[in-house]
Amino acid sequence: LLRALRLAAAVAAAADDADTLRLATALKDKIDVTEKNVADVVVKKLAELEASKNLMEHYRHSIETLKNQLSQPGEEDELQLIEEELSSCDEAERRQLYGALDAALAALAA
How does residue 75 score in pLDDT terms, banded at 50, 70 and 90?
low
CA–CA separation, 55 and 68 (whole Å): 20
Q: Which residue has the higher pLDDT, 44 or 80?
A: 44
Amino acid at 109: A
Q: How many residues does the chain have?
A: 110
Task: Please write the tens of the pLDDT for every residue from 24-56.
Answer: 788 888 888 988 999 999 999 999 999 999 999
How does residue 72 score in pLDDT terms, banded at 50, 70 and 90?
low
| Domain definitions of the chain by residue range | 2-109
**What is the value of pTM for the model shown?**
0.47
The per-residue pLDDT for 96 is: 87
The per-residue pLDDT for 71 is: 61
CA–CA separation, 25 and 22 (whole Å): 5
